[in-house]
Structure 1
Amino acid sequence: MADENPSILSHVSIGTNNFDRARDFYDRVLPTLGCKRVMEHPGAVAYGKLYPEFWVQTPIDGKAAAVGNGTHFGFVAPSKEAVHAFYDAAIAAGARGDGAPGPREEYGAPYYGCFLRDLDGHKIEAAFWDFSMQV
């Protein structure tokens, strides 16, 4: 059976200390990339296109959530316009910009993306890869 899923990860989870606020933030931001809420449990919500790929939850061990230094979560954007929509929606929902939409020479010509800090301080990214630009 051929592998039809291009992803290498099943899912990722991030912690939050304010579940309702984090859920509301991602409810506003992820639809810009064609994602939707696909599952919810008390204190946990999952987003994806077909299945739960990105979870936001209060830590299961009951301790405070903390942001990982050097950790960030990159979402696939279907276009440059979607990168801008993601960035604008996140800023409007209270995120802090950490790299405006645009190309990044160090990532190569096909890359176009943006970076932000969500309401808990997690670094998030939306990236469009235009492989038609490769020579």
Structure 2
Amino acid sequence: MTSPDRTGSQIDHLNFGVSDLQASAEFYRGALAPLGITEIMRVPPGAEQLAMIAFGWAHVKPFFWIVDAPGSQVGPHTHLAFSAPDRTTVDAFHDAALAAGATELRPPGLQPEYHATYYGSFVRDLNGIDLEAVCHHV
């Protein structure tokens, strides 16, 4: 059996239900700013649609959405890692996330259990989602 060609395959976007859409949007605007990730669009609620706010890089389609879902809970160990271009950006993400209200899980640093140059920062957002900024090179 041959494996399918996965060239170009990737996750297109992720949605997470949040208990307070506006508070979560404020958190993510602050926490993701060092990564160059900004709020791109808002989708109002409709007959079969919950209100949503999308984040991504300017002039590119959104890839991370938060959905207005009061009372929703994420499963344990829900984790989302954002790529950072360098270690300084990982540090800046960590500081911005804490300033926005995140709880620290691991401060920025090497994580050699993953590989020799894995440099990451781990925090928990307002909804219990574990977030990471990671740089894979020196």
TM-score range, shorter chain: 0.7 to 0.9
Paired with 1:28 and 1:71, the residues of 2 have a C-alpha distance of: 20
Matched, 1:45 2:68: no
Q: Which has the larger radius of gyration?
A: 2
Paired with 2:32 and 2:133, the residues of 1 have a C-alpha distance of: 10
- Per the alignment, residue 13 of structure 2 pairs with 11
The share of aligned pairs that are identical, in percent, is 38
Paired with 2:54 and 2:113, the residues of 1 have a C-alpha distance of: 32
* Count, aligned residues: 124
- Per the alignment, residue 120 of structure 2 pairs with 113
Gaps of 5+ in 1: none
Deviations 1:84-127 (A, max 9, x none): 11010010111100111001111101210011000111111110
Paired with 1:20 and 1:90, the residues of 2 have a C-alpha distance of: 16
- Per the alignment, residue 73 of structure 1 pairs with 80
- Per the alignment, residue 110 of structure 2 pairs with 103
Paired with 1:10 and 1:95, the residues of 2 have a C-alpha distance of: 26
Counterpart residue identity of residue 47, structure 1: F
- Per the alignment, residue 64 of structure 1 pairs with 71
* RMSD (Å) for aligned C-alpha atoms: 1.6
TM-score by length of 2: 0.84
- Per the alignment, residue 85 of structure 1 pairs with 92
> Which structure: greater helix fraction?
1
Counterpart residue identity of residue 52, structure 2: A
Matched, 1:54 2:64: yes
Deviation at 1:48, TM superposition (A): 0.8
Paired with 2:88 and 2:22, the residues of 1 have a C-alpha distance of: 28
TM-score by length of 1: 0.85
SS in 1 for 2:113: helix
Paired with 2:113 and 2:90, the residues of 1 have a C-alpha distance of: 18
Segments of 4+ in structure 1 off by > 3 A? none
